[in-house]
């Protein structure tokens, strides 16, 4: 039987059972339709088509004239008032606004800026591993996996040290309950707290933007608010909204990839030994395979801008489709033995960073830089470091989020 992807209980199943469910859906043929909310007298039915094959996810990602990102790619779509108050996020925009905004924020990710970041990434990785080996904490996620991307983004943006603890607390508060297993009380309480956290973080970043517009300090916030691309730069609200996106898109994703990475390298000692035998040779393949195998972002949505036929299915304008990266990355028609973790897999055309097209992840280079620098430090300086148990996952239909993961050191804890 094929699973019901709109049923929250599917997302509570163990990861391996969800992957089996996706395999059955891929075998079943054309994209299937799932009802999220039955229609009634006063409201229409709401549902989505599930794109589970690699080919469909790639086509929907690349054909932005048909598959639009507005009004939102997340589930549920952001409410209209939230978008009005907090500003439109890059991920949720279509042409021409998307191209305009992406051209400005792309300044954050030019090869020149990223080459300058290389040294910083290395020294942050070294400091984190120094602390890890000295303090030998129990949980790998807070002490290493989430610290690395958070510090890098704050350094890149020029966030003052004194603001960082409160930003981290706000990010954790805003994203603490993205899972699907929520009580009614949580469903009401958490978004209120999350939005307050978001508002306060965006306000702080907008203030920094105002200061840096007057007195640029050479960091990214200064570049973004003073950028002049066709006479455009980011205003305070856009800056705040972009910063929030980076905190989720850049911090949470990389943190989950790093945690899954240590877990995979622990479960596959042969692959770990191979990586350690010649780190420079195998590191690129290893980080690609970690992202394919763990797929930190499970799904993003699109909405059809015009009628379209794909994979034997006629879609209508206005239909919603969900791109399941987690399924496409295990598509047996593209990846031989897709469940195997193989750092030498080549080619490895995974869609962990999206399937290509105008919204393709802006941070891939940075994410790879961070993962390589961190695993180099971790594995070469502490070859015995390993995950001491399976990652504790937060049930979620959005990201493959690791809540915590114990780690063990040479000679025991
Ligand atoms: C392993 C780490 C990461 C993964 C798995 C990941 C994954 C993704 C995915 C699946 C998308 C959507 C692509 C699409 O809709 O076609 C995306 C978009 C994006 N990512 Fe990443 N990402 C990672 C790291 C980062 C980092 C480090 C940054 C920045 C510092 C970043 C910034 C962004 C931005 C700004 C977008 C939106 C682009 C747009 O809509 O034009 N990501 N990412």
Atom nearest to 73 CA in ligand 1: 15
Q: What is the pLDDT of residue 189?
A: 38
Q: What is the pLDDT of residue 378?
A: 97
Q: For the domain that residue 333 is a member of, what is the CATH number?
A: 1.10.630.10
Signed CA dihedral, 81, 84, 87, 88: sign only: positive
Distance CA 303, CA 72 (A): 9
Do the domain assignments include residue 261?
A: yes
Q: How far is the CA of 362 from the centre of ligand 1 (A)?
A: 6
Q: What is the pLDDT of residue 316?
A: 97
Do the domain assignments include residue 2?
A: no
Do the domain assignments include residue 413?
A: no
CA atoms within 13 A on the CB side of 135: 13
DSSP 8-state secondary structure symbol assigned to residue 79? P
Most informative mutation of 56, 99, 253, 327 for ligand 1 (most atoms within 8 A of CB): 253
Q: What is the pLDDT of residue 175?
A: 54
Q: How far is the CA of 307 from the centre of ligand 1 (A)?
A: 28
Please state the pTM of the whole predicted model.
Answer: 0.94
Do the domain assignments include residue 209?
A: yes
User: Does the C-beta of 246 come closer than 6 Å to ligand 1?
Assistant: yes
Partners of 303 in the beta sheet?
68, 320
Signed CA dihedral, 356, 361, 363, 367: sign only: negative
User: Does the C-beta of 362 come closer than 6 Å to ligand 1?
Assistant: yes
Do the domain assignments include residue 79?
A: yes
Helix (H) or strand (E) holding 369: helix 364-381
Q: Of 88, 245, 244, which Cα lies nearest the Cα of 167?
A: 244
Q: What is the pLDDT of residue 81?
A: 63
Q: Where are the alpha helices (DSSP H) in 1-64?
A: 15-28, 54-62
Number of domains in the chain: 1
Nearest CA to ligand 1 atom 3: 253
Do the domain assignments include residue 1?
A: no
Q: Which domain holds residue 131?
A: 8-391+399-408
Do the domain assignments include residue 124?
A: yes
- Averages of pLDDT over runs of 10 residues in the chain (413 residues) are 94 94 97 94 93 98 97 77 70 92 84 86 97 96 95 92 86 55 42 70 88 88 79 80 84 96 98 97 98 97 97 96 98 98 98 98 95 97 94 91 93 67
User: Degrees (nearest 5) of the Cα angle 323, 325, 330?
Assistant: 130
**155: phi then psi, degrees, rounded to nearest 5:** -65, -45
Which pair of tokens denotes residue 199? 């508002």
């Amino acid at each position: 039987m094929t699973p019901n992807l709109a049923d929250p209980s599917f997302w509570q199943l163990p990861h391996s059972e969800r992957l089996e469910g996706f395999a059955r859906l891929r075998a079943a043929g054309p994209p299937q339709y799932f009802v999220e909310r039955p229609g009634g007298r006063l409201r229409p039915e709401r549902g989505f088509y599930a794109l589970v094959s690699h080919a469909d996810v790639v086509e929907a990602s690349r054909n932005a004239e048909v598959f639009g990102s507005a009004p939102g790619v997340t589930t549920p779509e952001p409410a209209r008032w939230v978008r009005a108050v907090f500003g439109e996020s890059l991920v949720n925009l279509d042409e021409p606004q998307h191209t305009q905004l992406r051209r400005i924020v792309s300044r954050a990710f030019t090869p020149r800026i990223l080459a300058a970041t290389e040294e910083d990434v290395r020294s942050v990785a070294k400091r984190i591993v120094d602390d890890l080996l000295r303090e030998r904490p129990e949980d790998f996620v807070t002490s290493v996996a989430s610290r690395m991307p958070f510090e890098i983004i704050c350094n890149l943006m020029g966030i003052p040290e004194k603001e960082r603890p409160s930003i981290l607390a706000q990010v954790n508060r805003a994203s603490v309950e993205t899972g699907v297993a929520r009580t009614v009380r949580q469903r009401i309480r958490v978004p209120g707290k999350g939005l307050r956290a978001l508002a306060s973080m965006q306000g702080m970043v907008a203030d920094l933007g105002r200061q840096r517009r007057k007195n640029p300090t050479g960091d990214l916030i200064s570049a973004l608010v003073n950028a002049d691309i066709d006479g455009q730069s980011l205003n305070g609200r856009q800056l705040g909204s972009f910063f929030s996106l980076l905190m989720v898109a850049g911090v949470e994703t990389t943190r989950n990839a790093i945690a899954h990475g240590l877990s995979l390298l622990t479960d596959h000692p042969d692959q770990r030994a191979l990586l350690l035998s010649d780190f420079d040779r195998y590191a690129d393949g290893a980080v690609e395979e970690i992202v394919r195998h763990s797929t930190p972002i499970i799904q993003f949505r699109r909405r059809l801008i015009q009628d379209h036929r794909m994979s034997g299915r006629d879609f209508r304008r206005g239909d919603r489709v969900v791109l399941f990266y987690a399924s496409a990355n295990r598509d047996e028609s593209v990846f031989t033995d897709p469940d195997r973790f193989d750092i030498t897999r080549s080619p490895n055309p995974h869609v962990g960073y999206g399937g290509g097209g105008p919204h393709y992840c802006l941070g891939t280079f940075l994410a790879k830089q961070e993962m390589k620098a961190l695993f180099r430090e971790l594995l070469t300086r502490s070859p015995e470091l390993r995950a001491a148990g399976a990652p504790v996952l937060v049930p979620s239909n959005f990201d493959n989020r690791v809540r915590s993961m114990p780690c063990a050191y040479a000679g025991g804890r």
